[in-house]
Amino acid sequence: MTLTKADIAKYPFVADAAEEIRREDLDIQSLDNPELKEIVDRAVERIEEALKNNPPKVSYREREEDIEIPSFPVAIILAAASENNYLKRRYALAEAMRAYELLREEKREKFLDVARAFNWRIRCLTDEVGGRRFDFAISFIDYLRNARSFHESGFKLVNRPLWRGEVFLTKREAARLLREEIRSRIESRLEANVRSRLPDSLLDRVEALKRRYASSVEEKFIEELPGGMNENALPPCIRELLSAAKDGRHISHLGRFTLTSFLLNIGVKPSEIVDIFRSSSDFNERMTRYQVEHIAGRRGSGTKYIPPSCETLKTHGLCPGSSDMCRGVNHPLTAYRRRARTFKKPP
């Protein structure tokens, strides 16, 4: 790879970043060292930006590599220590969105360097394909691994140019695909159990972040919803996710969270939601029940979660396209509530 230190500051999730971090001699117990305050402050800021920006995105500080690079793993540690699923998902998506915006402006050769850090089989294209100009050809295996969670018809493999095992993409499309790979890698790192090793002063900052999340998110949806599920009133995103779950099709982690939290908030019982996921090839009843009850607030922090906003669902490829019932709303629960009023409650 030919990534420079400036590149690593842009994309700190690549393998080279690990070596840069080792040079800083960082460890969890030392994070309360006053000499690291600027790095820790920036790490906290990264998470705060993820929580307050809509859509979520972390800023990029150009020419501040000595802070940008080490602040990323520190932010990972703090987000993991929060043990708050919403905060962790939001942060992973925000970092992925930052990378997406930066990648769209990169030269194609630099884009290849970042993609190959994920072992993508990808190459630049110079000739037109079927009268259209594309930037890259990528192995259809690497394509499917990331595109399977997208619901837009344009990303369905049947609608993509495919030749000799390669899918052709514009740079914007490739960046969108790589964004999903980045988000997934960061989310996996956020599962680390680090809370017990974090200094008390850092734990206090983590708890402050959680309180900020609680005050800003829990108040977003306080209107009472009609009880019981009325399938005729389901917005397109939820209808698509529900259909996929019943058919046993793959649903991304965020998709499962969205469907589960939505159904819980309209009055569907946790046991009924567990049954909906039984067709999944990786179904584990004990784990599924635990996750559903956690989202319902019966386990863990006791917080009952609400589904993501329409903006987040669009950003994450979970919006199949707006319909008339989506017009003028910014949350699937709002769309459902309005639509449900036009139907009689099911007997």
Q: 280: domain CATH number?
A: 1.10.579
166-169 sheet: strands from edge to edge: 122-124, 136-139, 166-169, 162-163
User: Is residue 284 domain-resident?
Assistant: yes
Residue 25 zone, left/alpha/beta (φ > 0; ψ -120 to 50; rest) = left
23, 118: one domain: no
What whole-number distance in Å separates Cα of residue 16 and Cα of residue 32?
A: 25
95, 141: one domain: no
145, 198: one domain: no
74, 176: one domain: no
DSSP string for 133-182: --SEEEEHHHHHHHHTT--SGGGSGGGS-EETTEEEE-HHHHHHHHHHHH
pLDDT at 199: 92
Residue 45 identity = E
96, 116: one domain: no
pLDDT at 220: 41
Q: Which of 126, 158, 182 is the last residue of a domain?
A: 182
Residue 300 zone, left/alpha/beta (φ > 0; ψ -120 to 50; rest) = left
* β-bridge pairing 122-124 and 162-163: unpaired
User: Is residue 187 domain-resident?
Assistant: no
Q: Which structural domain range is residue 285 located in?
A: 225-340
Taking the alpha carbons of 301, 265, 57, 107 in that order, is the dihedral positive or negative?
A: positive
34, 71: one domain: yes
User: Nearest to residue 20, comparing CAs of 29, 30, 11, 33?
Assistant: 11
**Domain total in the chain:** 3
Give 217's DSSP letter.
H
User: Is residue 46 domain-resident?
Assistant: yes
For the chain, list residues with pLDDT below 50.
217-226, 344-347
Residue 276 identity = I
Strand partners, 129: 132
Strand partners, 123: 137
pLDDT at 224: 41
26, 63: one domain: yes
237, 324: one domain: yes
124, 245: one domain: no
pLDDT at 221: 40
pLDDT in tens, 156-188: 888 888 999 999 999 999 999 999 999 989 988
125, 89: one domain: no
User: Is residue 95 domain-resident?
Assistant: yes
pLDDT at 19: 62
**Structure tokens given for 101:** 């915006």
DSSP string for 179-208: HHHHHHHHHHHTT---GGGS-HHHHHHHHH
Residue with tokens 């490829």: 317
User: Is residue 304 domain-resident?
Assistant: yes
User: Is residue 188 domain-resident?
Assistant: no
Do 174 and 111 touch, CB atoms closer than 8 A? Answer: yes
User: Is residue 346 domain-resident?
Assistant: no
pLDDT at 194: 87
What whole-number distance in Å separates Cα of residue 184 and Cα of residue 252?
A: 10
User: Is residue 300 domain-resident?
Assistant: yes
User: Nearest to residue 84, comparing CAs of 222, 217, 232?
Assistant: 217
**Could you give the 3-state DSSP secondary structure of residue 124?**
strand
38, 158: one domain: no
pLDDT at 159: 86
Residue 220: C-alpha distances to residues 5, 169, 214, 328 (Å): 40, 38, 10, 16
- Dmax (CA) of the chain: 66
129, 245: one domain: no
pLDDT at 87: 86
pLDDT in tens, 214-259: 655 443 443 444 456 788 889 999 999 999 998 888 898 899 999 9
pLDDT at 20: 55
Give Cβ neighbours of residue 194 (< 8 Å, ≥ 6 apart).
Answer: 28, 77, 80, 81
